[in-house]
Chains A and B, each alone.
Chain A
Amino acid sequence: EAQVTQNPRYLITVTGKKLTVTCSQNMNHEYMSWYRQDPGLGLRQIYYSMNVEVTDKGDVPEGYKVSRKEKRNFPLILESPSPNQTSLYFCASSSITGTYNSPLHFGNGTRLTVT
């Protein structure tokens, strides 16, 4: 089954304790991206990657890191989480045809709480 898998689904942590949220896709997609979703603000892009070793900032990259060492994996790293990073996080992927992205496939989300 074609899917984007995120882990964990729920995470509660304390301020300053480094954490990693994993994301893996099995569709051989070139493009992968991380979003956060907050009430009243919608989905906002954190980072994206066009292919292996190619990453770039989205709209809200501060406090986050990513890496793309393999095509299927795109982990999100919070080096020193703060309470304002409490949010619902989604990983997404799509293929690229010419200059068009195909529709995004989303994971089921990771609900992060930072106390």
Chain B
Amino acid sequence: EDQVTQSPEALRLQEGESSSLNCSYTVSGLRGLFWYRQDPGKGPEFLFTLYSAGEEKEKERLKATLTKKESFLHITAPKPEDSATYLCAVQARNGGYQKVTFGIGTKLQVIP
């Protein structure tokens, strides 16, 4: 069974204090790993897709990396508007390409 574990569950940072969110996964064959951002009262919004170990993607203050067992979402010099819940999801090869498994998320709060 595919599993996605995110840590920490919640993270409080001062504005400008860089940190990383972790996503550990167990899948039978990874097709892709996704990061989403979810604001209160809204649906998740796509950030990144990573397909293979060693791949990295960046967008503004966010950088996502992937190894064979985990992914990190690095947040550099965060601002209050980065406050949100960040969700990790994996798409498994053996499970059929329609199967996407989500983690519970990391709730990030950035204090001015």
Interface of A toward B, CB cutoff 8 Å: 4, 31, 33, 35, 40-45, 48, 50, 56, 90, 92, 96, 99-101, 103-109
**A103 contacts which of B49, B99, B105 (Cβ < 8 Å)?**
B49
Number of residue pairs spanning A and B whose beta carbons lie under 8 angstroms apart: 55
- Residues of chain B lying within 8 A (CB to CB) of residue A101: 32, 91, 97-98, 100
* Secondary structure call for the B interface: strand
Nearest-CB residue, chain B, relative to A92: B43
Per-residue 0/1 for B5-34: is the Cβ within 8 Å of any A Cβ (1 yes, 0 no)? 000000000000000000000000001101
Instruction: Give, as a whole number of angstroms, the nearest-CB distance from B104 to chain A.
Output: 4
Q: In the complex the two chains form, what is the Cα distance from A100 to B42 in whole Å?
A: 25
Per-residue 0/1 for B42-63: is the Cβ within 8 Å of any A Cβ (1 yes, 0 no)? 1111100100000000000000
Nearest-CB residue, chain B, relative to A91: B43
Instruction: Give, as a whole number of angstroms, the nearest-CB distance from B101 to chain A.
Output: 8
> Which 7 residue pairs across A and B have the least CB separation, nearest first?
A106-B43, A103-B46, A42-B104, A43-B102, A99-B97, A42-B102, A106-B44
**A108 contacts which of B34, B42, B105 (Cβ < 8 Å)?**
B42
Instruction: Give, as a whole number of angstroms, the nearest-CB distance from A55 to chain B.
Output: 11
Instruction: Give, as a whole number of angstroms, the nearest-CB distance from B107 to chain A.
Output: 11
From known contacts A42-B103, A42-B105, infer whether A96 and B97 are also in contact, taking CB-CB under 8 Å: yes
- Residues of chain B lying within 8 A (CB to CB) of residue A44: 102
- Residues of chain B lying within 8 A (CB to CB) of residue A100: 31-32, 91, 97
Q: In the complex the two chains form, what is the Cα distance from A92 to B99 in whole Å?
A: 13
Instruction: Give, as a whole number of angstroms, the nearest-CB distance from B112 to chain A.
Output: 27
Nearest-CB residue, chain B, relative to A31: B98
Instruction: Give, as a whole number of angstroms, the nearest-CB distance from B52 to chain A.
Output: 13
Q: In the complex the two chains form, what is the Cα distance from A56 to B31 in whole Å?
A: 20
